C-alpha cells in the first residue's frame, strides 16, 4: 500500500524538520556576516564560491556552520 502526501504538506514538514534538526548547528548568512564584520552580500558570495567550509544551500538560503571561520581575504 502506498501513502501519498500532498506536496505542500510535505514541504511544510520538511522545513520544520530542517529547522529543528539541521539548523541547530548552523547560522544564517546575516549572523555570520555580523560575526565576521562583513556585509551579508559578501558572505553570500563567499558561500557561492565555496570558500566557507560546510556551508549548504537550501533554496535561496545559505546555512553556515556556527564554528566556521572567515575565509582569508586576498586584499591586505
Q: Write out pLDDT tens, residues 30-67.
A: 999 999 999 999 999 999 999 999 998 877 888 899 99
Extract the C-alpha cell encoding 7: 506536496
Extract the C-alpha cell encoding 52: 566557507
Which whole-number Å values give the CA distances from 46 to 31, 36, 42, 59, 69, in the listed order? 14, 12, 6, 17, 12
Could you tell me if 42 and 29 are in contact, meaning their C-beta atoms sit under 8 angstroms apart?
A: no
Give the start-end residues of each E strand in the chain: 26-28, 56-58, 61-65
Q: Write out pLDDT tens, residues 7-31.
A: 676 666 666 666 655 556 889 999 9
Amino acid at each position: 500500500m502506498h501513502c501519498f502526501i500532498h506536496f505542500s504538506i510535505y514541504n511544510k514538514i520538511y522545513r520544520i524538520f530542517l529547522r529543528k534538526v539541521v539548523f541547530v548547528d548552523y547560522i544564517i548568512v546575516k549572523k555570520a556576516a555580523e560575526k565576521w564584520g562583513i556585509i551579508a552580500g559578501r558572505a553570500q558570495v563567499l558561500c557561492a564560491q565555496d570558500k566557507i567550509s560546510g556551508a549548504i544551500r537550501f533554496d535561496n538560503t545559505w546555512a553556515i556552520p556556527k564554528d566556521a571561520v572567515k575565509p582569508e581575504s586576498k586584499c591586505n
